[in-house]
Structure 1
């Protein structure tokens, strides 16, 4: 039973390629649209995903290269309990810190530190080339994961967009076929099918 069904599906998909007196020009066009949609979705999706992943990896590598860790000192006591937030700060609290910039000037700012630290405790903060505080850059493993996820998301999105365009093209073709069918039916049966 399964073999018969598979055979019918295969014949249904391939009948437009064979010589057939019932095959219309629109059937051939639809087959080429179908084939082009699949090829562009697969190849275009893979290329777009690869390009997006590489661009993300380069951006994150530049962030890692632009920031470096320095030692800072707490200028105030850090709170004992971290606030419950969903921003991925990992149980840290904000506290005022003091550090020396690359130009030798002592600066102060607010950074994320472990809770419960006392004034004067040494902590590590991340600064850029100008000596301003920046967020902790992602590690190489985090960068690879984020790049891979970005690439997959872009590949799937590109493929979905191409499939959507192919679906719209086939929808327009179906509407045109229906208009042609109605005009042919009106020509063949001017009485509306009544005898």
Structure 2
């Protein structure tokens, strides 16, 4: 690397060969990176906070109930450890309800199983634990940050490609003017 000097901020320095497209690109590149860094971070944090709020509302709005299994379930197989079976439980309003739910295979009728209900007493899936919700919120936040960053980076690439096309077109026009002056002189 001997003999080579670095020139910081070379894109913004005055230069007789600098074109308008060069200046636009000089501002476009850092703008894209700032948007990727700041926008991606904001999108990730907002998405993670929103998802965490949804999971918290699910935990608050669902209650565990003990239901009674109304029929035997088939034995577990290598591919199925749970099976759909009829169950009965008491809703928050005191009414007795029956429905089908996924329960462990190999259980006998009359066995008690733990299920989750919503505010109306209908069966719902178990809410995610705090740890599961944190992990899923983090993954959703990271995915939204990556998605926004990809869109910004892609848009920046498209804009840079357009600037390159304009530069090439200008170089072509200038070559048409300068090329004939050079002629076919070989020395």
TM-score (norm 2): 0.90
- State how many pairs are aligned: 184
Aligned position for 2:136: 146
Q: Give the Å deviation of 1:110.
A: 1.1
* Residue of structure 2 aligned with 1:53, choices 48, 52, 55: 48
Confirm or deny that 1:35 pairs with 2:30: yes
- Quick check: 1:75 aligned with 2:70? yes
C-alpha separation in 2, matches of 1:129 and 1:163: 45
Report the alpha carbon displacement of residue 14 of structure 1 after superposing the two structures with TM: 3.6
Once residues 44 and 25 of structure 1 are traced to their aligned partners in structure 2, the CA distance between those partners, rounded to angstroms, is 27
CA contact (8 A) 1:50 1:151 kept: yes
Cα separation, partners in 2 of 1:147 and 1:18, compared to 1, 3 Å: same
- What 5-or-longer segments of structure 1 have no aligned partner? 86-90
Tell me the alpha carbon deviations over residues 124-160 of structure 1, each in whole angstroms, 9 at most, x when there is no partner. 1101111110011111110000000000111111111
Structure 2: 5+ residue runs without aligned partners? none
**Alignment correspondent of 1:88:** none
Q: Is the 8 A contact 1:95 1:111 kept in 2?
A: yes
1:1-195 equivalence runs, <5 A: 4=1, 10-11=6-7, 14-82=9-77, 84=79, 91-190=81-180, 194=184
